[in-house]
Structure 1
Amino acid sequence: MAPIQHLTLDPSHPLPPTRNHPNNAISTSMPDAKETKVHPTISGAENASLYLVGTATIILSWAGIRLMTDPNFLHAVDHVHLGPGVTGTRVTNPAVDLNDLPHVDAVLLSHYHADHFDQKVEESLRRDLPIITTPHAKSHLANKAGENELFTAVYELDTFDSMFLEVQPTAGEASKDAGRLKAVKVIAMPGKHIPPGVLGTLNDLVGAVPPTNGWMLELGSHTGESDASFQCGYRIYISGDTLMVDELKEIPERYSGQNIDLMLVHLGGTTIPSPHMPLLMVTMDAKQGLELVRLIGPEMTIPIHFDDYDVFLSPLEDFKKVMAEAGLDKKVIYLDRGDDYKFSVKEI
Structure 2
Amino acid sequence: MTVLNIDCRSKQPPTRDLPPGKELPDSLPKPGNSHGHPTKSNENTNASLFFVGTATTILKWEGFTLMTDPNFLHAGDHVHLGPGVTGTRQTNPAVNLEDLPQVDAILLSHYHADHFDEKVETSLRRDLPIITTPHAKDHLANKASESFTNVHALDFWQDLTVDFLTSQTTSATLPKPQIHVTGMPGTHVPPGPLAAANDLLGAVPPTNGWMLELGYSSPQGQSSQPSNTSATNTSDSSSTFQSGYRIYISGDTLLFDDLHKIPEMYSSHTGKPIDLMLIHLGGTTIPSPKVPLLMVTMDSKMGVQLMQVINADVTVPIHYDDYDVFLSPLSDFKKAVEDAGLNSKVVYLDRGEEYRFEVRKDESLMPIE
Taking structure 1 as the reference length, the TM-score comes to 0.95
Deviation track 1:185-228 (CA, whole Å, cap 9, x = no partner) reads 01000001111111011001111100000000000012235222
Q: Which runs of 4+ in 1 moved over 6 A?
A: none
User: Does 2:165 align with 1:165?
Assistant: no
Name the residue aligned to 1:71: 70
Higher alpha-carbon deviation: 217-226 or 188-197: 217-226
Distance in 2 between residues matched to 1:30 and 1:237, nearest whole Å: 23
Deviation track 1:3-48 (CA, whole Å, cap 9, x = no partner) reads x211122232221000011256422311100111011222111100
Distance in 1 between residues matched to 2:88 and 2:64, nearest whole Å: 32
User: Does 2:197 align with 1:202?
Assistant: yes
Distance in 2 between residues matched to 1:301 and 1:85, nearest whole Å: 34
Distance in 1 between residues matched to 2:359 and 2:55, nearest whole Å: 22
Q: 1:273 to 1:53 in 2, by over 3 A?
A: same
1:166 deviates by 1.1
Question: Could you tell me which of 249, 255, 262 is aligned with 2:260?
Answer: 249
1:337 deviates by 0.3
Name the residue aligned to 2:207: 212
Name the residue aligned to 1:33: 31
Name the residue aligned to 2:251: 240
Distance in 2 between residues matched to 1:283 and 1:292, nearest whole Å: 12
CA contact (8 A) 1:220 1:347 kept: yes
Higher alpha-carbon deviation: 161-170 or 37-46: 161-170
Q: 1:171 to 1:75 in 2, by over 3 A?
A: closer
Amino acid at match of 2:82: G
User: Does 2:321 align with 1:288?
Assistant: no
Amino acid at match of 1:161: Q
Amino acid at match of 2:179: V
CA contact (8 A) 1:55 1:307 kept: yes
- Report the 3-state secondary structure (helix = DSSP H, G, I; strand = E; otherwise coil) of the residue aligned with 1:318: helix
CA contact (8 A) 2:64 2:166 kept: no
Distance in 1 between residues matched to 2:76 and 2:266, nearest whole Å: 41
Amino acid at match of 2:250: S
Distance in 2 between residues matched to 1:247 and 1:175, nearest whole Å: 41
Distance in 2 between residues matched to 1:253 and 1:130, nearest whole Å: 30
Question: Could you tell me which of 300, 303, 307 is aligned with 2:317?
Answer: 303
User: Does 2:285 align with 1:275?
Assistant: no
1:275 deviates by 0.3
Amino acid at match of 1:325: D
Return 5+ residue gaps in structure 1 as ranges: none
| 1:127-138 equivalent positions in 2, closer than 5 A | 127-138=126-137
- Report the 3-state secondary structure (helix = DSSP H, G, I; strand = E; otherwise coil) of the residue aligned with 1:174: coil
Distance in 2 between residues matched to 1:211 and 1:30, nearest whole Å: 31
Deviation track 1:259-300 (CA, whole Å, cap 9, x = no partner) reads 100000000000000000001100000000000000000000
| 1:147-162 equivalent positions in 2, closer than 5 A | 149-162=146-159
- Report the 3-state secondary structure (helix = DSSP H, G, I; strand = E; otherwise coil) of the residue aligned with 1:228: coil
Root-mean-square deviation (CA, aligned residues, Å) is 1.3
Distance in 2 between residues matched to 1:294 and 1:55, nearest whole Å: 23
User: Does 2:142 align with 1:143?
Assistant: yes
Distance in 2 between residues matched to 1:335 and 1:215, nearest whole Å: 20
Identity of aligned residues (%): 60
Distance in 1 between residues matched to 2:11 and 2:214, nearest whole Å: 20
Distance in 2 between residues matched to 1:270 and 1:33, nearest whole Å: 28
- Report the 3-state secondary structure (helix = DSSP H, G, I; strand = E; otherwise coil) of the residue aligned with 1:126: coil
Amino acid at match of 2:43: G
Distance in 2 between residues matched to 1:260 and 1:171, nearest whole Å: 26
- Report the 3-state secondary structure (helix = DSSP H, G, I; strand = E; otherwise coil) of the residue aligned with 1:164: strand
CA contact (8 A) 1:169 1:181 kept: no
Name the residue aligned to 2:105: 106
| 1:92-103 equivalent positions in 2, closer than 5 A | 92-103=91-102
1:170 deviates by 4.6
Name the residue aligned to 1:326: 340
CA contact (8 A) 2:162 2:178 kept: yes
Name the residue aligned to 1:19: 16
Distance in 2 between residues matched to 1:194 and 1:167, nearest whole Å: 36
Deviation track 1:82-130 (CA, whole Å, cap 9, x = no partner) reads 0000000000000000000000000000000000000000000000000
Taking structure 2 as the reference length, the TM-score comes to 0.90
Amino acid at match of 2:34: T
Amino acid at match of 1:334: Y
Amino acid at match of 1:37: H
CA contact (8 A) 1:268 1:305 kept: yes
- Report the 3-state secondary structure (helix = DSSP H, G, I; strand = E; otherwise coil) of the residue aligned with 2:239: helix
Amino acid at match of 1:330: S
CA contact (8 A) 1:9 1:65 kept: no
Q: 1:20 to 1:332 in 2, by over 3 A?
A: same
Amino acid at match of 2:316: I
Distance in 1 between residues matched to 2:148 and 2:9, nearest whole Å: 23
Distance in 2 between residues matched to 1:121 and 1:165, nearest whole Å: 23
- Report the 3-state secondary structure (helix = DSSP H, G, I; strand = E; otherwise coil) of the residue aligned with 2:200: helix
Return 5+ residue gaps in structure 2 as ranges: 224-235, 363-369
Distance in 2 between residues matched to 1:235 and 1:340, nearest whole Å: 17
- Report the 3-state secondary structure (helix = DSSP H, G, I; strand = E; otherwise coil) of the residue aligned with 2:309: helix
Amino acid at match of 2:152: Y
- Report the 3-state secondary structure (helix = DSSP H, G, I; strand = E; otherwise coil) of the residue aligned with 1:123: helix
